[in-house]
Amino acid sequence: MTVQNSTAVYSALIESELKETRNFMTQQLQCSDERLAEFTDYIKKRQGKMLRASVLLLCGKLTGRITKLHISIAGTVEMIHSATLLHDDVIDNSTIRRFQPTANRLWGANQAVLLGDFILSRAFAALLLFGRNDVNKIIGDTAGIICQGEMLQNKYRGNFNISVEDYLDIIAKKTAVFFAASAQLGAVISGADQQTSKNLYDFGLNLGIAFQIADDLADVAANENQTGKTTGRDLENKIPTLPTIKNTDFTKEQIVRYQQKALNIIACFNESPAAKALKELTMQTA
Amino acid sequence: MTVQNSTAVYSALIESELKETRNFMTQQLQCSDERLAEFTDYIKKRQGKMLRASVLLLCGKLTGRITKLHISIAGTVEMIHSATLLHDDVIDNSTIRRFQPTANRLWGANQAVLLGDFILSRAFAALLLFGRNDVNKIIGDTAGIICQGEMLQNKYRGNFNISVEDYLDIIAKKTAVFFAASAQLGAVISGADQQTSKNLYDFGLNLGIAFQIADDLADVAANENQTGKTTGRDLENKIPTLPTIKNTDFTKEQIVRYQQKALNIIACFNESPAAKALKELTMQTA
């Protein structure tokens, strides 16, 4: 279980596509008002690991050919993710993210909330123009579920008697459905059949669950030099996570379990560079 | 200058359409998770004055016939507005809105931020499915400008040397463009020509500026029984507004000035119940 970094092997296969995705995001975050440049520049500079974009692009490659729409939707997905991180950091009162001070630390919670809203608005504005109803429905539904997951997490704050099932339900909603939707979107845009898209959705869901459990474990076990963000926050914020409601061994078992479920789905596809990269990503992520 | 209430005369003309708009919002905010019902119920119960929906519907009626799309877009506009109010109340630390405790007072700032995100997601998810690119572009662009206006306001916090021009620029962005877009949307959905839509955009812009100046004046001059929300917050939050950077008389002059600009635009349309209602709305709003 290592923290994935930007030099990961899997990303070599989609290097140029990830670069185009970053360019798309930079364009969408353009703001004509000079007075706001410091805020939008902050976001452009902190584009992070692009994990959801990578899942989308690799699943697109696994099932077809990468198009301009794959790039744009990958960028939109990462913009929505950036917005949720800004709001998460406000909610958790975090001060470090991606090895840099968080927006709430730099400019206060207020500006961080607004900056998140701005990015979310720009992401949806981009989507609204593509006019792909199938793609839009997936993203629209997913955004609503993520918010529900976050609200549920808030509701269970301080409740360390939460069942493993309720914990899994929360992390599926707040984190894993976004990975699931990213994988599905890659396939849908490539024109994959419904069953294939569904299989890749399930791949993303299991990957996302493994990822979040590993993230929760790192919050209690790792330090800031390893994760690049404030650690120990979950306990401080009274958020029940698997390592705190159960124990480290059980938590590690669950990571491997969901990782294996994800790998089993990719194993059903023909061998290809994209399949290999998705397996690597799964192993490195969680 | 009286605070508009829900029994306003102008709304009689669109009573059934406003009811349909409320129903649309209730449907969109449906949430299958019982555990989150208290949060979504809160929003359903606090749908407020529906001022932006009224502007949209009346401008739709002024230039044609109200369709199902007018209703849906009016509902979407009010949902986006609700989301911005939730975040505004967090940012201003307000405790009363629409004569009720704010979401941040009831459940804390965190849940209020997330609830705002949820409503915003649901609003955009609805929009994404209508597939009307012209409508979507207006709303997408407007949402981005509103966030920019709010960020600018935040940036000028504590600066009571702000010029009247900069103050007007901020309130145009954070408030008036939303009224402008609502008026324009009513016309666009009715199939009005470009010049008519542009004129109604300008109507909404002037109305929105007058509305925000009046709102800023009420914050210093009125009490909570009159406005139904926490007053005196702007000064407490160090937000420079026209009555505090200039004086009450100058502020009242400006309200009348922008109100008159709005009325002059409606005066160019043939007399009709919708034109009369828009004049009434303008007089009552600011």
Between A216 and B133, name the one with better pLDDT: A216
Answer whether A78's CB lies under 8 Å from A53's CB. yes
* CA-to-CA dists, residue B87 to A52, A171, B224, B248, angstroms: 27, 24, 20, 28
Strands A96-97 and A100-101: antiparallel
At A96 the three-state DSSP class reads strand
DSSP H helices in chain B? 15-28, 37-45, 51-63, 68-92, 103-107, 109-130, 133-155, 164-171, 177-189, 194-221, 224-227, 233-236, 242-245, 248-267, 273-285
CA B124 to each of CA A35, A136, A139, A208: distance values in angstroms, whole numbers, following the listed order: 27, 9, 10, 24
Number of DSSP helices (H) and strands (E) in chain A, helices first: 15, 2
CA distance B62 to A268: 60
Q: Which residue of B has its CA nearest to A237?
A: B110
What number is the ipTM of this complex?
0.86
Query: When comparing pLDDT for B91 and A86, which is higher?
Result: A86
How far apart, in whole angstroms, are the C-alpha atoms of residue B39 and residue B108?
Answer: 12
Please answer yes or no on whether A146 and B110 come within 8 Å at the CB atom.
no
Contact A36 B140 (CB under 8 A): no
A248: tokens are 């480290």
> What's the rounded mean pLDDT across residues B80-87?
92
Enter the tokens of residue B231.
Answer: 């007053």
pLDDT one digit per residue (tens) for chain A, 286 residues: 344 444 567 889 999 999 999 999 999 998 878 888 888 888 888 778 899 999 999 999 999 999 999 999 999 999 999 999 999 888 878 888 878 888 888 888 888 999 999 999 999 989 887 878 899 999 999 999 999 999 999 889 999 999 999 999 999 999 999 999 999 999 999 999 999 999 999 999 999 999 999 999 998 887 766 777 777 778 888 899 999 999 999 999 999 999 999 999 999 999 999 999 999 999 998 7
Nearest CB to B87; choose among A108, A117, A146 = A117
Distance of CA A271 to the CA centre of its chain: 26
The residue count for chain A = 286
User: pLDDT tens across B229-276, in order?
Assistant: 777 778 888 899 999 999 999 999 999 999 999 999 999 999 999 999
Flag if A133 and B136 touch (Cβ within 8 Å): no
* Nearest-by-Cβ selection for A125 from B108, B117, B144: B144
Mutate to test the interface with A, among B113, B134, B146 (most CBs of A within 10 A): B113
Using CA atoms, how far apart are residues B118 and A143, in angstroms rounded to an integer?
8
Please compute the mean of the pLDDT values over residues B184-195 and round it to a whole number: 98
Nearest CA-CA distance, residue B42 and chain A, Å: 14
In this complex, the residue of B39, B133, B148 whose CB is nearest that of residue A151 is B39
Tell me the DSSP string of A77-88: HHHHHHHHHHHH
Block residue for tokens 């369709």: B67
| Global pTM exceeds 0.80 | yes
Average pLDDT over residues B126-133: 85
Q: Is B101 helix (H, G, I), strand (E, B) or coil?
A: strand
- Nearest-Cα distance to chain A for B2, in Å, is 31
| Contact assignment for B109 to A111 by CB distance below 8 Å | no
Instruction: Give the minimum alpha-carbon distance from B117 to chain A in angstroms, rounded to a whole number.
Output: 7
CB A149 within 8 A of CB A173: yes
- Burial letters B126-155, b for 16+ CB under 10 A, else e: bbbebebeebbebbbbbbbbbbbbbbbbbb
Contact, B171 vs B212, CB < 8 A? yes
Residue B166 CA to residue B22 CA, distance in Å, equals 36
| Domains detected in chain B | 9-285 (1.10.600.10)
Identify the pLDDT of residue A148.
92
Collapsing DSSP states into helix, strand and coil, what is residue B97? strand
* CA A70 to chain CA centroid, nearest Å: 16
